[in-house]
Structure 1
Amino acid sequence: MKTLQNLIGGTWEGSRGDAFHPVVNPATEEVVASCPSGSPEDVRLAVDAAVRAQPAWAALPVAERVGRLSRWADTIAAHAGELAEIECREMGKPVALGRAFIGGAAQGLKVAAAEALDYAFEETIPGPDGSSTTIVRNPLGATAVIVPWNFPVPMILGALGPLLASGNTVVLKPSERSPMSAVRLMELTDLPPGVVNLVLGDARAGAPLTADERIGLVHFTGSVEAGRKVGAQTGARLRRSILELGGKDPAIVDAGVDPKATAAAVAFGAFANSGQICTSMERVYVHRDVAEEFIEALVEAAATYTLGDGHDAGTVLGPLVDRRQRDLVVRHVTDAVERGATIRAGGFVPEGKGFFYPATVLTDLDDSMLVMTEETFGPIAPVIVVSSFEEALERAGASRFGLAATVYTADPAHMAAARRLPAGVVWVNQWQGGGPERLYEPAGDSGMGATGSRAAYDAATRPTSIHTAP
């Protein structure tokens, strides 16, 4: 069993704290690593290293920073299979799924970094009297990236590109539930020492990191409860934060769509990665005209999501990350059933080792049940039949969350109406669609701070206007 270490200023070091916790393979319940629980001293040293390294990194030409990041992305892509194997061991994701997402994230890092080549870090605007105003966008300095356990490598890469390409340095804290892939990711980098530092731990590392006065921005992805604490800390010290928090994303299935094809798409949106995706479809509103055929097809699709260890080629659905997460899923399903819901597929805890839960379809629900109001983060597709597209829009939008939403419709007017949904991203007829130019900001309790493409560069820099008289 390996004891994981921090990466501080280019050197691998043991934690200054004396507490450790086990990293458990959720498919076998075997301990696969020992992870530091973190300490303020670990954080202080990591921020020291980031602050020291930042001026020299920012002084490099933009093209050189982009080139370094692009080469790192190529290395990551070449090791996508290895990283996916590690993610499987630490949080259960099937290797094939992990490899696909890591490969896409490596390409995304290249694309995001390359946007720096066209970003206006300096722009001069002439005045009518011969004066000029030059707008210079400078990096913020040392920044922090805190990521969750469900997509450790892709989440890290998605945040790092604009921050590093803009000339910032980073202190990275992965989830204590899936730290091994982050460690290997840092072993694969050849960026200058201190440009990216890795500090491991739980809140004992996270809290002092977000409270450090020298951190100019915190990019946090995680729960609403933790996000509120991060926002309070950064707000109290007048620093920026980008918060991507929980979701309870709706999917609307309109009359006139192919119910079988749409059911297959919704099954993937609800069950992929065992439902442990921030933008998983967690509420499904289906028009009564297609409801019967859609539900039947969704139940059939659920049966194809075979449970097993993600290292096995035949596995489609791996385990949930740990017992705590499975207990939450069970609680949501139990609450729904006790209040009148019907289990159409799944809905039970399998025997044997591992934190498995099958693809589950629920009907006969109402919008007050836990499975319709709170983030479940499990392979559950709760389906409510509606009488009109307008009713579906209204019920889909009546949530405190607003991360993303998906609409399946063949009606052009309904496609246009989908933009009324209060969400950071709205997908029409294709879940997870869109390219690197996408900009978004979560709505409601799902977070704050616009990001993506140029918005990520705006967040990673601070503009200064320099007015020069003639």
Structure 2
Amino acid sequence: MAIASINPTTGEEFARFDALDDAEIETRIAAAHTAAQHYRLTGFDERARGLRAAADILDAESDTLAATMTAEMGKTLTAAKAEIAKCARGLRYYADHAADLLADEPADAGAVNASKAFHRYQPLGVILAVMPWNFPLWQVIRFAAPALMAGNVGLLKHASNVPQTALYLGDLFRRAGLPDNVFQTLLVSSSQIESILEDPSVAAATLTGSEGAGRSVGGIAGGALKKVVLELGGSDPFIVMPSADIARAASVATTARVQNNGQSCIAAKRFIIHDDVYDEFLDAFVAEMGAQKLGDPTDPDTDIGPLATEQGRTDVTELVDDAVSHGAKVALGGHVPGGPGWFYPATVLTDITPEMDIYGAEVFGPVAAVYRVSSLDEAITLANDTSFGLGSNIWTTDEAEADTAIRDIAAGQVFVNGMTTSYPELAFGGVKDSGHGRELTRHGIAEFCNVKTVWIA
């Protein structure tokens, strides 16, 4: 099987690689296992030096790396450079804080008849990371930084349409001074994941991707009795109540929907607007969305580049066409533009009903579904009427409304008067079909640790 880089701006292939065969995979896994036995004995200071050096490399090579990311998956150069800077920050965060996050945790020795009792966090070993193309650097770094600082080693199976970014990541930590084989990229097909995860040398896995991919990898991991963290899709609600700053909410809603060309699990996708401000919000939102420039992602004035794959655009087109055929109204966009590349414009749909596929689907493109509600209770009921539960937003200056939303929205995250995003300092993950486990902060670094209980007489 060939693994290829295809420029979504032109539809043209510009690089091709062969997948590793089974023998090569076994050799790579064995090398990772050997590296894990030594790397687990290194100290936080040594690991931190490697991560800080990796951050410095990212800073120094931002322009060339951003160009590669843009060419492979179509994000704007501006977005690519911002992603690289975020990765450097994440690396430095864990380099600075891992020792404290994983410090021995004292227990009540007297209560358990001990002179001393505590919990110690120790690495599990070799972790398989199955990662998506939409944030081809950040998705990997937010796993790798905490995992490596905890003393684990990583095997990366990246999306097949970003092989050059994957290979860059595979070499980054070696260049930064970490021992050989502590982090490796495996150019393999999805069909080879099962045998890798079932290998006794692989201790656990993490996957960011679709619900289907999560079910597959989760099932394999369960059968092999191995830990797995899953961050899957989202259909995040964006609730706007009458007390909100409507102009600000509409502006942030636009960014939240078109970020990364609309291809983000935590992008706001369902805009649930109270009757009292529905018309005002819709007018402002359509104006903001309509001002987004669709075009060449290397142009600094471009807001929305192409979708990453041809199939991705087909999926978005089919969802919009189905909605329109069942009575949805198109307030903006809704048509595939002519010319080369996999472009799709900023689109706003209203009058969405449960009979439409878009009602329950995750739309991976710059398409917003706008709903009208008459109360906060109705808004929360609609927000929860999805199989997903990743992020969510509520816009209100009423503290009681905010507290109710925080309590009742079924999601891993609630952002009040702001856009859902990820920070090293905040736990990241979802509930329901959006997956389980957490990434980032102390919750993320502990996911791939053995929490060892120590009792001393």
Q: TM-score range by the shorter chain?
A: over 0.9
> Once the two structures are superposed, what CA deviation does each residue of 1:438-465 show, in whole Å capped at 9, x if it has no partner?
1244110000113321112221210222
Q: CA deviation at 1:435?
A: 4.2
Gaps of 5+ in 2: none
Q: What percentage of residue pairs aligned between the two structures are identical?
A: 33
Q: What residue in structure 1 maps to residue 445 of structure 2?
A: 457
Q: CA deviation at 1:32?
A: 1.3
Q: What residue in structure 1 maps to residue 271 of structure 2?
A: 284
Q: CA deviation at 1:21?
A: 3.8
Counterpart CA distance in 2 for 1:250 and 1:369 is 17
> Aligned pairs, how many?
451
Q: What residue in structure 2 maps to residue 306 of structure 1?
A: 293
Counterpart CA distance in 1 for 2:25 and 2:251 is 45
Instruction: Pick one of 361, 377, 381 that aligns with 1:390.
Output: 377
Over 3 Å counting, the alpha-carbon distance change for 1:21 and 1:188 in structure 2 is closer
Q: CA deviation at 1:392?
A: 0.7
Q: CA deviation at 1:331?
A: 0.6
Q: CA deviation at 1:290?
A: 1.1
**Preserved CA contact (<8 Å) 1:46 1:198:** no
State the SS of the aligned residue for 1:172: strand
1:264-343 aligned at under 5 Å gives the runs 264-343=251-330
1:239-254 aligned at under 5 Å gives the runs 239-254=226-241
1:7-86 aligned at under 5 Å gives the runs 19-86=1-68
Q: What residue in structure 1 maps to residue 93 of structure 2?
A: 111
Deviates more, 1:239-248 or 1:369-378: 369-378
Counterpart CA distance in 2 for 1:87 and 1:241 is 27
What's the TM-score, normalizing by structure 1?
A: 0.92
Asked if residue 89 in structure 1 is aligned to residue 71 in structure 2, the reply is yes
1:180-195 aligned at under 5 Å gives the runs 180-189=164-173, 190=175, 191-195=178-182
Q: What residue in structure 2 maps to residue 231 of structure 1?
A: 218
Counterpart CA distance in 2 for 1:448 and 1:44 is 29
Q: CA deviation at 1:300?
A: 1.1
Q: CA deviation at 1:48?
A: 1.0
Q: What residue in structure 2 maps to residue 196 of structure 1?
A: 183
Counterpart CA distance in 2 for 1:205 and 1:79 is 32
1:339-354 aligned at under 5 Å gives the runs 339-354=326-341
Q: What residue in structure 2 maps to residue 213 of structure 1?
A: 200
**Preserved CA contact (<8 Å) 1:218 1:242:** yes
Counterpart CA distance in 1 for 2:5 and 2:266 is 25
**Preserved CA contact (<8 Å) 1:246 1:278:** yes
Q: What residue in structure 2 maps to residue 166 of structure 1?
A: 150
Deviates more, 1:449-458 or 1:139-148: 449-458
Over 3 Å counting, the alpha-carbon distance change for 1:42 and 1:403 in structure 2 is farther
State the SS of the aligned residue for 2:203: strand
Q: What residue in structure 1 maps to residue 409 of structure 2?
A: 421
State the SS of the aligned residue for 1:118: helix
Match for 1:66: what amino acid? A
**Preserved CA contact (<8 Å) 2:309 2:342:** yes
Q: CA deviation at 1:114?
A: 2.4
Match for 1:393: what amino acid? I
Asked if residue 148 in structure 1 is aligned to residue 135 in structure 2, the reply is no
Gaps of 5+ in 1: 1-18
Deviates more, 1:274-283 or 1:131-140: 131-140
Asked if residue 439 in structure 1 is aligned to residue 439 in structure 2, the reply is no
State the SS of the aligned residue for 1:318: coil
Counterpart CA distance in 2 for 1:40 and 1:278 is 32
Counterpart CA distance in 2 for 1:176 and 1:51 is 24
Counterpart CA distance in 2 for 1:351 and 1:441 is 38
Counterpart CA distance in 2 for 1:332 and 1:441 is 26
Match for 1:461: what amino acid? C
Q: CA deviation at 1:380?
A: 0.3
**Preserved CA contact (<8 Å) 1:359 1:379:** yes
State the SS of the aligned residue for 2:392: strand
Q: CA deviation at 1:433?
A: 5.1
Instruction: Pick one of 378, 387, 394 that aligns with 1:407.
Output: 394
Instruction: Pick one of 257, 260, 276 that aligns with 2:247.
Output: 260
